[in-house]
Amino acid sequence: MGQHTANFEALSSVAELNDRIDTLRLQESVSQTVESQMEVEMEVLKLYEEVLKAGPEGYPALNRKRTSKYVETFLTRPLPPPFVQLEASQTWVVYWLVNSKVLLGGEVSEELREAVGQKILECVDPRSGALGGGSGQIAHMASTYAGLLALAAAESYKALEHLDRTRIYHWLLSMKQPDGSFIMHNNGEADTRAVYCALCIAQLLNIMDEKLVENTAEWIASCQTYEGGFSGAPGDEAHGGYTFCAVAALSILDSPESLGSVIDLDNLVSWTVQRQYGIEGGLSGRTNKLVDGCYSHWVGGLSPFLEVATGRKEVLDRTHLQNYILCCCQDDPAGLRDKPGTRADFYHTNYVLCGLSMTQHYQNYKDGKFVADQIASTSSLVEPIDPIYGVRSDLALKLAQLYR
């Protein structure tokens, strides 16, 4: 916890921060953005001060038991009626929950493995062979990506035998645009998410060829903004999620060691480090936005790529980010969340765990793949993840090797 003291050099106490907020509120020029930022800082600082007062013994650890129970409950029981709003995100829900279970060190039973396979196969669109968000829904790039990762996380390899790789290849090709981008679905939007999802699908199923990726690296590079991050499409604002998708996609097309040959690497590093805020230690997705636990993965997950590309030991402050996750992102009674004052959900539980994994492992790049090196010895340790795919390090490789 010693690093916290240095990180608080600008503000000595909650009281001081509260006074500054009151002063700002009296100024007509203060924006809602500034006010919201300082309110978040105050909530986070309160939590940190409580931890510091308690001493080393009071530092929170990952509540593995409760988080595992939270995940297991939703994996094994029907979801309550309000979850109907996620009806078009069923492959995502399965991925988020199964992946969280695995990252926490849980074992996937044969019963769960078969249930995952059955659920994902229900989402196959018979018109294309790719996956929709649920039964009877149109094929969607993100749904297909999430479905494959769910199968990888659960090691549901029998289900893969029922996926027609040739049809999926032709569907991917039909989503390909002349400029090198991909669209998310028929008549859908083209963005860096779609490109990343398409390349992950092609790589995992071993259906990548030159025709599928023609002009794609150039299109991705055109999405880098003046700030250094990447937007969803050329001319838009840099965003953490889109930046992760762009960098991971480029690292599928070529080694992350060569990133500097196609993009402005120094500017990307600059944008990335500016996403980590000094008081919170957490990460934001855009300039002048609040920290959010999910960006522990979408922005924090850039670290392995940038560290390989630059040769730097550490691009982000892993300790400070882990402190934010463990002190501020654990909900009561269970699950992981965006920030203090919000509630846990499946999405944040998964991606905060992915971010926590990044803080606990360095990634070396050897023989065309990432190799995790554990740097933490703690009760909060979670499994290492593959930086590109966001599943346990060995699982994406196992799936891909089925088709080699």
Task: State the DSSP H helix or E strand holding residue 23, giving kind and residue range, or none if neither.
Answer: helix 14-25
Is the CB of residue 377 less than 8 Å from the CB of residue 361?
no
Q: How far apart are CA 125 and CA 129, in angstroms?
A: 5
Which entry of 236, 317, 345, 394 is annotated as an active-site residue? Answer: 345
N-to-C CA span, the chain: 46
Which entry of 70, 295, 324, 389 is annotated as an active-site residue? Answer: 295
Q: Give bridge partners of residue 190 from the DSSP assignment.
A: 183
**Residue 209 bears catalytic tag:** no
**Residue 320 bears catalytic tag:** no
Q: Give bridge partners of residue 392 from the DSSP assignment.
A: 385
Other CB atoms within a 10 A radius of the CB of residue 53 amount to: 8
Strands 369-374 and 361-366: antiparallel
Which entry of 101, 113, 185, 239 is annotated as an active-site residue? Answer: 239
Which entry of 20, 66, 165, 289 is annotated as an active-site residue? Answer: 289
**Residue 239 bears catalytic tag:** yes
**Residue 170 bears catalytic tag:** no
Q: Give bridge partners of residue 230 from the DSSP assignment.
A: 224
Closest C-alpha among 213, 184, 186, 211 to residue 199: 213
CA distances (Å), origin 334, targets 73, 214, 280: 11, 46, 21
Which entry of 338, 354, 361, 386 is annotated as an active-site residue? Answer: 338
The total number of residues shown for the chain amounts to 404
Residue 349 in 3-state DSSP?
helix
Other CB atoms within a 10 A radius of the CB of residue 105 amount to: 12
**Residue 275 bears catalytic tag:** no
Which entry of 348, 362, 386, 389 is annotated as an active-site residue? Answer: 348
Q: At which residue do the structure tokens 């939703």 appear?
A: 74
DSSP 8-state code for residue 357: H
**Residue 294 bears catalytic tag:** yes
**Residue 317 bears catalytic tag:** no
Closest C-alpha among 249, 368, 239, 257 to residue 312: 257
**Residue 286 bears catalytic tag:** yes
DSSP 93-129: HHHHHHHHHHHTTPPPPHHHHHHHHHHHHHTB-TTTS
Closest C-alpha among 219, 226, 228 to residue 192: 219
Other CB atoms within a 10 A radius of the CB of residue 192 amount to: 27
**Residue 59 bears catalytic tag:** no
Q: How far apart are CA 322 and CA 376, in angstroms?
A: 11
Residues annotated catalytic, as ranges: 239, 286, 289, 292, 294-295, 338, 345, 348
